[in-house]
Amino acid sequence: MERILSEAESFQDQTTAIRSRILDVLAQLPWDGTNFRHEIPGLSLYRVIEPAGPFFSLYEPSLSLIISGSKRVRIGDETLVYDASRFFLTTIGLPMTGQICEATTAEPYVAARLSLDLEALRRLIANHDLHPTDTSDHDRGGVVGTTTPELYDAFWRLISLVNSPDDIPFMANHIRNEIFYRLLTGEQGARLRRFALAGTNSNRVAKAVAWLKENYTMPLRVEALADMANMGVSTLHHHFRAMTAMSPLQFQKHLRLHHARELMLSGSLDAATAALRVGYESPTQFSREYRRMFGHPPLRDVKALLKSGDSANRSSVG
């Protein structure tokens, strides 16, 4: 453990100059709250000047890189922390809770997120013969890894394209593929290659996850979900929890409560109507589970969020 931490700290020291260059570029951009809108495909940029969260979000497959600050994310019953020395990689859509504990105007939290393109990953795997080196089927869908100077350098060149938009159509795709290549050949590369390729238990669970995301309002029969994934019920439970840190029922509950919260915030729906809209039959059960997840009953939680007007506490940041 000491060797790993020492290596991460060494990489963080090596990336100081590169991160400073990235921060210089981002400091000159016209930020709209926590976000900056640009034309680089798949890239999101974030800047927060005060503590934010906890916020609940459904992370799609992506790579999150922190330029300055740190973040805590909770997936099921597991908590992960990452900062300028570690990236966060999620290979399937996962509901999770995030929190930025420290951020100021002088030292803001700054992060970038790049969406994963499975087709692009598969082409790189095939073209460079990067097939998995083992057959592990107990991969977590969200992990942290060490951020190398080479990875930061590629992100610096990608982010710098905001100042040369005419170069984006040609350069962005090449730099993005370089980032994907470095991921595929790095410490989390074998895991990422397994997710990108078909036929493993990880991919069968990913199929079940995709179905739940599209059909979270419907009653869940785990037996039918297991049949769809071509797995036994106990096997599905085992691999689903290994990947998401949740059971299928817990995963569905997270999706339902998150979407109900969004409906109440954006559609002015009352709690009972939002509960029915996302598949709950009992408003009492909905209120009880909502309070357990978000810390307050639906009405109080939504009123507090609307009153604060704090979008950083309502949606994902980096």
Complete DSSP assignment for 108-148: -EEEEEEE--HHHHHHHHHHTT---SS------SEEEEE--
- Statement: 2-196 belongs to CATH 2.60.120.280: yes
Q: Say what angle helices 189-196 and 168-184 make with each other, to 10 degrees.
A: 110
Report the distance separating Cα 240 and Cα 206, nearest Å: 8
What pLDDT, on the 0 to 100 scale, is given for residue 1? 41
The pLDDT tens digits of the residues spanning 97-147 come to 889 988 898 999 999 999 999 889 989 998 888 866 555 555 677 889 999
315 has pLDDT over 60: no
pLDDT of residue 242: 84
Instruction: Tell me the two tokens of residue 141.
Output: 């869908």
**Per-residue pLDDT tens over the stretch 180-228:** 999 999 989 888 888 887 656 667 888 898 899 999 999 999 999 999 8
Task: Give the type of residue at 318.
Answer: G
**Do the beta carbons of residue 226 and residue 234 sit within 8 Å?**
no
DSSP label at 43?
Answer: E
For residues 22 and 278, give the distance between their C-alpha atoms in angstroms, rounded to a whole number.
41
CA atoms lying within 13 Å on the CB side of residue 218 = 10
Q: Return the C-alpha torsion angle 290, 95, 23, 36, nearest 10.
A: -80
The percent of residues in the chain predicted with pLDDT above 90, rounded, is 52
- With cut-offs at 50, 70 and 90, classify the pLDDT of residue 316: low
- For domain 250-313, give the CATH superfamily: Homeodomain-like (1.10.10.60)
SS3 77: coil
- Cα of first residue to Cα of last residue in the chain, in angstroms, is 27
**Residue 2: predicted pLDDT:** 47
